[in-house]
């Protein structure tokens, strides 16, 4: 029998996390229930300063990288404890600062020297990483990438271009896939390199997105010199290191709780509206609206169960592969359905995006999400590619 209830130990850990958050979280950092959008923070804002102090408190507990060994600044928590930690942070609307997925990849494939050098600054926040995979001609067919790295003594010299590099404009480190052997079959001539974004020869050009923010960039490399000791795993075997990274990135285990909370906040808002203007809200007018809303709650529970499967695999020391793709397809397409349901229920004013506007509903959160959630089924590998992974690696179906 599957029992979803906490064991006594898990319940006690959950209570400990709650107590810590209750005692320590500065009010300025509580995420608004009607607006959980996070943007690249202005480093001089009051919130950014409070976030720095918050990070210090979490560092003391090892909760920035709860899965990591204590010697690298982690807390050695089991996957279930990590899940409880994530859930409790989300339930109390506390910002959950974490480490980038590249940390988990270095933990699996990196040398001890690389782990000592690169992991601790991820915990303290000194290192801000971005991911240099995609290129103008290489997205889904990532193995066709052309950015070239040529060996020169103890270094590699890099020339080429990356695109859609999230956060490159605020990052000081990058992990990139580069071609080290152009003669080899395409998957076998790639290496996984770590280097500073402050290296001479790097130019970053921001790209503007549909919802007005500029989260990602083009990055150009011109004779950038990188120490060869920064290759993770073997030279020319980087494709497999990069694939591990994608498995971590796609597992999306943090999303499920947040999705339930989003639905809760929408329901509360609609019920308030109903009370203020009895019988006029979409919820009371339409059977279809109520049915749509119920569907989204069912899906939120499916998302949570998919995440739990990924967690149970991690608990056994396995790296989820097609299971992570299943979670990614479901969670990201589900986020789009939530946004569609919400904008439909809020009616014409639900389309306004202005946070402070008189007529904006829930600070324009849902219309922004309607636009921003489009990209979630593209980033980290498109839904079509995830379905290919599930069909071939998960179900053993032939490749087309």
Ligand X SMILES: Cc1cc2nc3c(=O)[nH]c(=O)nc-3n(C[C@H](O)[C@H](O)[C@H](O)COP(=O)(O)OP(=O)(O)OC[C@H]3O[C@@H](n4cnc5c(N)ncnc54)[C@H](O)[C@@H]3O)c2cc1C
Q: Which of the following is catalytic: 81, 249, 299, 323? A: 249
Is 91 a known active-site residue?
no
Stretch that binds ligand X, among 20-28, 62-70, 289-297, 373-381 (CB under 6 A): 373-381
Closest approach of Cβ 183 to ligand X, in Å?
Answer: 24
For residues 78 to 117, the per-residue mask of contacts with ligand X, x marking binding by CB under 6 A and - elsewhere, is ----------------------------------------
| Coil, strand or helix at 294 | helix
Q: Which of 105, 165, 265, 332 binds ligand X (CB under 6 A)?
A: 165
Stretch that binds ligand X, among 303-311, 322-330, 360-368, 379-387 (CB under 6 A): 379-387
Q: Which of 166, 196, 284, 336 binds ligand X (CB under 6 A)?
A: 166
Q: Is 336 in the site for ligand X (CB under 6 A)?
A: no
**CA 328/CA 397 separation, integer angstroms:** 20
**CA 396/CA 389 separation, integer angstroms:** 10
Q: How big is the chain, counted in residues?
A: 400
**CA 94/CA 21 separation, integer angstroms:** 8
Question: 3-state DSSP: the chain helix, strand, coil percent, rounded to 5?
Answer: 50, 15, 35
Are 106 and 119 spatial neighbours (Cβ–Cβ below 8 Å)? yes
Residues 202-261 that bind ligand X (CB under 6 A): 216
Q: Which of 382, 391, 392, 394 binds ligand X (CB under 6 A)?
A: 382
**CA 113/CA 340 separation, integer angstroms:** 48
Q: Is 72 in the site for ligand X (CB under 6 A)?
A: no
Tell me which H or E stretch contains 192: strand 190-196
**Angle in degrees, 0-180, between the axes of helices 101-109 and 238-250, rounded to the nearest 10:** 140
CB nearer to ligand X: pick between 164 and 221: 164
DSSP state of 217: E
Stretch that binds ligand X, among 75-83, 115-123, 159-167, 352-360 (CB under 6 A): 159-167
Q: Which of 140, 172, 214, 286 binds ligand X (CB under 6 A)?
A: 140
End-to-end CA distance of the chain: 39
Q: Which of 118, 164, 192, 195 binds ligand X (CB under 6 A)?
A: 164
Task: Give the number of residues in contact with ligand X, rule: CB under 6 A.
Answer: 19
CB nearer to ligand X: pick between 164 and 239: 164
Which residues are 399's β-sheet partners?
none
Q: Is 26 in the site for ligand X (CB under 6 A)?
A: no
Are 394 and 326 spatial neighbours (Cβ–Cβ below 8 Å)? yes
Residues whose CB is less than 8 angstroms from the CB of residue 44 and which lie 6 or more positions away in sequence, other chains included: none
CB nearer to ligand X: pick between 140 and 172: 140
Q: Which of 37, 375, 392, 394 binds ligand X (CB under 6 A)?
A: 375
Q: Is 160 in the site for ligand X (CB under 6 A)?
A: no
Which ranges of the chain does DSSP label H, i.e. alpha helix?
A: 8-24, 46-61, 79-91, 101-109, 112-124, 238-250, 255-276, 282-285, 287-315, 322-346, 365-372, 383-389
Tell me which H or E stretch contains 191: strand 190-196
Stretch that binds ligand X, among 134-142, 197-205, 280-288, 356-364 (CB under 6 A): 134-142
Stretch that binds ligand X, among 35-43, 129-137, 153-161, 256-264 (CB under 6 A): 129-137
Catalytic residue IDs: 249
Give me the residues that bind ligand X (CB under 6 A), please: 130-134, 139-140, 164-166, 216, 375, 378-379, 381-382, 384-385, 388
């Amino acid at each position: 029998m599957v029992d979803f209830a906490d064991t006594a130990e898990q319940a006690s850990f959950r209570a400990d996390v709650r107590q810590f958050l209750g005692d320590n979280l500065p009010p300025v950092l509580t995420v608004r229930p009607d607006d959980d959008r996070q943007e690249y923070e202005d480093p001089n804002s009051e919130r950014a300063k409070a976030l720095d102090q918050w990070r210090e408190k979490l560092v003391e507990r090892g909760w920035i990288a709860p899965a990591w060994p204590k010697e690298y600044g982690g807390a050695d928590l089991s996957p279930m404890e990590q899940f409880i930690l994530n859930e409790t942070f989300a339930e109390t609307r506390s910002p959950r600062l974490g480490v980038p997925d590249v940390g988990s990849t270095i933990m699996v494939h990196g040398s001890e020297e690389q782990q000592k050098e690169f992991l601790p600054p991820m915990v303290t926040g000194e290192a801000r990483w971005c991911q240099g995979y995609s290129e103008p001609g290489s997205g889904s067919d990532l193995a066709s990438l052309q950015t070239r790295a040529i060996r020169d003594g103890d270094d590699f010299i890099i020339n080429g271009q990356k695109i859609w590099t999230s956060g490159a404009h605020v990052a000081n480190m990058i992990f990139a896939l580069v071609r080290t052997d152009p003669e080899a079959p395409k998957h076998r001539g790639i290496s996984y390199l770590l280097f500073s974004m402050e290296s001479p020869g790097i130019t970053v050009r921001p790209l503007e997105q549909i919802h007005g923010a500029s989260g990602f960039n083009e990055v150009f490399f011109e004779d950038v010199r990188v120490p060869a000791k920064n290759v993770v795993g073997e030279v020319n075997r980087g494709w497999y290191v990069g694939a591990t990274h994608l498995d971590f990135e796609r597992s999306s285990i943090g999303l499920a709780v947040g999705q339930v909370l989003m639905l809760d906040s929408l329901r509360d808002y609609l019920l308030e509206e109903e009370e203020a203007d009895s019988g006029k809200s979409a919820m009371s007018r339409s059977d279809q609206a109520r049915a749509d809303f119920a569907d989204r709650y069912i899906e939120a529970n499916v998302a949570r169960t998919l995440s739990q499967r990924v967690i149970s695999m991690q608990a056994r020391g396995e790296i989820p592969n097609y299971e992570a793709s299943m979670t990614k397809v479901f969670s990201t397409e589900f986020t789009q359905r939530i946004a569609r349901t919400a904008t439909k229920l809020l009616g014409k004013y639900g389309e306004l995006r202005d946070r402070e506007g008189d007529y904006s509903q829930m600070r324009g959160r849902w219309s922004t999400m309607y636009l921003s959630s489009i990209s979630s089924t593209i980033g980290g590998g498109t839904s079509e590619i995830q379905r290919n992974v599930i069909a071939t690696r998960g179900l053993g179906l032939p490749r087309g």
